[in-house]
Amino acid sequence: MSAPEAEGLRASLERLVAEGRVVPAGADAEVRTGCPRETEAVGFGLGLGAFPGAVLLLEGPLGSGKTALARGAGVALGVRDPLTSPTFTLLSESAGRLPVFHLDLYRVAGPEELRAFDLVEVLESGGVTIVEWPRWLLAEPPGGALRVDLAVLTPAERRLQVRILDPRWEGWLARARRNAAA
C-alpha cells in the first residue's frame, strides 16, 4: 500500500487520532470530521481493520458521507479504482487484498426484494461488504458487521458513530493504528 492516496489518508487518520478526535466509548467510537477527506480517513482506518467476512453498514441521510467513507475503506483494502456510488448498479465488486463488494440499497423497496438477489452469497464469500442504505439489514445485522451512523452537523461537519456488532471488530482502532504504522 504505497500509493500516495493511501499515504495521505494514513496521515489524516493519524492526525484524527493524535488530536483526540476519535473518541472511544467502550469498544465503540465517535468521530467528528470537518471535511470529506477526514471521513475518507475514518473509512481507511476501518478498511485497515477489516477481515474476511467483514461488513460495514453505513447508515445516514443523503450526502452524509457514506460513499466518502467507502472510498477510504477501498483505498485501505488496495482497490485500484476509487469506489464510487453504486446507486444505479446496486452492487459493484472490486479486487483488493480482499474482494470488496459495495452495495447501495437506496432503491430496494423491502426485505422481499433483498432476498431476490444473492446478498447471502456476497456476505459469505469471504470478502468485505460495504453497504449504503442498509435499513433492511439493521434489525438482524449479518455476521461480521460494524455499523456507522453518519449525521450531518454543518455543511462541512459530520458525526460518525461507530458501533461494533460482531466481536471480531473489537480492537479495530488499535489494529488500524498498528497497520497504519506498518
Ligand X SMILES: Nc1ncnc2c1ncn2[C@@H]1O[C@H](COP(=O)(O)OP(=O)(O)OP(=O)(O)O)[C@@H](O)[C@H]1O
What are the residues binding ligand X (CB under 6 A)?
33-36, 38-39, 60, 62-68, 85, 132, 156-158
E strands of 96-152, at which residues? 99-104, 128-132, 145-152
**Which of ligand X, Mg ion, none interacts with 156 (beta carbon under 5 to 8 A by kind)?**
ligand X
Residue number with CB closer to ligand X (7 or 157): 157
Q: Does 39 bind Mg ion (CB under 5 A)?
A: no
Q: How far is the CB of 168 from ligand X (least distance, A)?
A: 25
CB of 86 to ligand X, least distance (A): 9
Instruction: Name the minimum Å distance from CB 34 to ligand X.
Output: 6
User: How near is the Cβ of 90 to ligand X at its closest, in Å?
Assistant: 13
Helix 36-49 with 172-181: angle, nearest 10 deg: 100
Look at residues 165, 103, 162, 167 and name the one whose alpha carbon lies nearest to residue 129: 103
CB 65 within 8 A of CB 150: yes
Strands (E), 12-125: 22-25, 28-33, 55-59, 91-95, 99-104
Minimum CB distance to Mg ion smaller for 62 or for 182:
62
The answer to whether residue 64 forms part of the interface with Mg ion (CB under 5 A) is no
Q: Is 26 helix (H, G, I), strand (E, B) or coil?
A: coil
Chain contacts with Mg ion (rule: CB under 5 A): 66-67, 85, 132
